[in-house]
């Protein structure tokens, strides 16, 4: 199985380039299917050239940017959004590890609180039963 070049986060970063690629591809398809200006031996090749040249250039740039982003995420530390320049900021890996351990602790605390509330409600029920019989 081949390794993935772009993960979900990298594709999200590349969306700013993928959207214009889609727009340019839409115009190329539109002008190929419906030719509003008619065919002209000089104008039509220039029109397609002015759409295809940026499309190919942006596609190459997007691919190279994606490889650079994905490679950098594997080689260096990744921080939360806006925290890369903050002194003492924790990395994304540290944050996820802390959140996971906090989540496990919170789950244990919730179980303890649930058990305590069950004991308290049983005692309250006994008190209410005793009061109603009086």
| 19 and 70, same domain (yes or no) | yes
Residue 120, token pair as written in the block: 């308290």
- Taking 60 as the threshold, does the pLDDT of residue 92 lie above it? yes
| 10 and 61, same domain (yes or no) | yes
| 71 and 124, same domain (yes or no) | no
Domain count within the chain? 2
Look up tokens 């994304």; give the residue: 92
The tens digit of pLDDT for each residue in 64-90 reads: 988 888 877 677 777 777 777 788 778
| 10 and 63, same domain (yes or no) | yes
Q: Which of 76, 101, 116 is the C-terminal boundary of a domain?
A: 76
Whole-number Cα distances in Å, 67 to 4, 21, 107: 11, 17, 39
| 101 and 117, same domain (yes or no) | yes
Q: How many residues make up the chain in this entry?
A: 134
Cα–Cα distance measured from residue 108 to residue 126, given in angstroms and rounded to the nearest whole number: 28
Domain that holds residue 1: 1-76
| 39 and 70, same domain (yes or no) | yes
| 94 and 46, same domain (yes or no) | no
User: pTM score > 0.85 for this model?
Assistant: no
| 52 and 3, same domain (yes or no) | yes
């Amino acid at each position: 199985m081949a390794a993935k070049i772009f993960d979900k986060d990298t594709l999200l970063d590349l969306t700013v380039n993928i959207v214009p690629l889609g727009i340019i591809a839409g115009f190329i398809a539109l002008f190929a299917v419906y030719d509003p200006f008619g065919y002209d031996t000089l104008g039509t090749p220039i029109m397609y050239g002015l759409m295809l040249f940026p499309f190919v250039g942006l596609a190459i740039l997007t691919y190279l940017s994606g490889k650079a982003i994905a490679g950098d995420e594997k080689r260096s530390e990744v921080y939360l959004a806006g925290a890369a320049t903050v002194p003492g900021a924790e990395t994304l890996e540290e944050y996820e590890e802390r959140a996971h351990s906090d989540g496990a602790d919170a789950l244990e605390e919730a179980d303890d609180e649930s058990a305590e509330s069950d004991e308290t409600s049983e005692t309250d029920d006994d008190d209410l039963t005793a009061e109603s019989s009086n």
